[in-house]
Amino acid sequence: MKIGIIGASGYTGGELLRLLGNHPDFQLSYIAAGSNAGELITSLHPQLPTLAGRTFEETSVAKMSACDLLFMALPHGESSKYISQLRADLKIIDLGADFRLSSAASWTKYYGGAHAGTWTYGLPEIAGLRSQIAAANRIANPGCYATAIALATAPAVGVIDPTDIVVVAASGTTGAGRSAKTNLLGSEVMNSLSSYKFGGVHQHTPEIEETLVKAGGSGAKISFTPILAPMPRGILATITARLNPQFLANPDVDQEVRELYGKYFENEQFAILLPEGQLPKTSSVLGSNSIQIQVAVDHHTQRLVISSAIDNLGKGAAGQAIQNANLISGLPENLGLSISGTP
């Protein structure tokens, strides 16, 4: 299959190029980066020597349409500008937020501007979504925080109060994109942790809530505080939610929680429930398409505590996009992807 990438100069674009370079059925035929057109790909992605001598191309609707499958790794609000100009049968994975939300009101509140519409949401491990993804040709790839939080919470929606979910999650600096920002300079980030988009205004909030509703958590509401961590990539999320009293009444509630998660993910190769006593680490999932999860019951506060770790450029972006591309192309879901990290 002839594959195109739009927005290939960014961190996510670089990870897409790295992963697709090892994919047996996807051939990189069109690599575009409008603002960097004409530059050598290896000038921005020196980790990709197999692309030495090749340059970024200009963004062209005609060249997009000549592909069999297109990855769009553009800033939010940009992908939707091209969609009406592309042929209807072109398979597209959009890694931006343009088509993730069902609610136009939420789009206006958190992103601004007109809502472009809603595509099939590409989080295959959420019960019921895999078949929808496989039947679609336009996929909205989930956000990185949304993946780490919603996927780790989904198995528990039937035993928690979905209106009382509190999340604190830390992300590496690549999650903010490649454009230069003072607060992302090495001298600003090193040896420091800082919250940002404080007070429930992070744009992934409605996406997480909508995903948990899809998973069965009626009326889901989260209080989400993101943290900028002094590392390039990775997300570590800590989620707590009040357990239902009838579930807590079970004297074996701790084991029941583990069984609940084990059953939900028993056939999922990329969702890993860790053994008791072992906690998720961002270093363990780097370069992989995996999410590591651990659960515990805080009997003192009667809350479920969930910890999860992903690579924000892997399962949180490029890896998941390829997983979705495999599904809509009728290929094995794990093709070109790794379960193991690169310590």
CB 312 within 8 A of CB 235: yes
CB 51 within 8 A of CB 45: yes
Coil, helix or strand at residue 172: coil
Choice among 5, 93, 144, 212 that is catalytic: 144
DSSP per residue over 286-342, as a string? TTSS-EEEEEEEETTTTEEEEEEEE-TTIIIIIHHHHHHHHHHTTS-TTTT--SS--
DSSP per residue over 68-82, as a string? SEEEE---TTTTHHH
Give the C-alpha separation, 236 to 309, whole Å.
Answer: 5
Give the C-alpha separation, 315 to 322, whole Å.
Answer: 9
At residue 342's C-alpha, the angle toward residues 54 and 45, to 5°, is 20
Calculate the alpha carbon distances from 280 to 154, 160, 253 in Å: 17, 22, 22
User: Alpha helices of the chain — where are they, by DSSP H?
Assistant: 11-20, 41-44, 61-65, 80-83, 104-110, 129-134, 144-153, 186-189, 204-214, 245-248, 253-264, 282-285, 319-328
| 67 given a catalytic annotation | no
CA dihedral defined by 101, 105, 109, 115, rounded to 10 degrees? 60
* Residues recognised as catalytic: 144
